[in-house]
Amino acid sequence: MKLILVRHGQTQANLAQEFVGWSQSSLTDQGYYQARQVALGIQNPPDRIVASDLDRTLTTAQVVCSTNQWSHIPVETMSEFREIHFGSWEGQTARQIQSQDPIQWQAYLDHPLDFTFPQGESLQMVKARVQRGLRTLDQELGRQEVVLLVSHLGVLRVIQDWLAPEVGDRFWDYTFPQGTFKVLDLANRHGEF
């Protein structure tokens, strides 16, 4: 299986520098532009197009499809590829959280990989969820099929981290700017999701 990983375009919440996981946030004009640029960079149509079930990824996928005239390929949604759930921190900026919840904020800064967001998820929960989604795709597809997956920074980092376990804990080192894509060929990988 080949994955074309796409990060959704810029959103209103991104501009406001808000923690936005499971909340909805619309693409900005720049976000639409980024989605069109992604489309121009992908030459061949994939076998499947999958997005998280949040508007920003679904809209990005739809823009890619319409730009490339891939109306014959339906955009499927899978909740397994949602961003991390920031719980009670959803829709707030770092400054607001630090002011309202300084103890939890410091715990997050001290141990971000082990932190569970108040009324939300931990990174381990996200990893398990993403793994389920990848396993589902892997079971449904052949080794040579191509999936365009539109998702979120946290999810894309989880996938990249999973694919390179030998380099140690590099989760925060993986960059994936909004409205960009990377191609990963998993046909020759060893092991299961």
Identity (one letter) of the amino acid at 56?
Answer: R
Beta strands in 62-111 (DSSP E): 75-77
| Contact (CB, 8 A) for 162 and 6 | no
> Which position among 8, 85, 121, 152 bears the catalytic label?
8
72 assigned to a ligand binding site: no
67 assigned to a ligand binding site: no
CA of 170: how far to CAs of 3, 113, 150, in Å?
20, 11, 22
34 assigned to a ligand binding site: no
- In the numeric block, which tokens belong to residue 60? 């990005």
Q: Is 83 a catalytic residue?
A: yes
120 assigned to a ligand binding site: no
Identity (one letter) of the amino acid at 152?
Answer: H
> Which position among 83, 85, 121, 152 bears the catalytic label?
83
139 assigned to a ligand binding site: no
Instruction: State how far Cα 192 lies from the chain centre.
Output: 20
9 assigned to a ligand binding site: yes
**66: CB partners within 8 A, 6+ apart:** none
Q: Which backbone phi and psi does 39 adopt, to 5 degrees? A: -55, -40
Q: Is 111 a catalytic residue?
A: no
Q: Known catalytic residues?
A: 8, 83
From the annotation, which residues make up the binding site for substrate? 7-14, 56
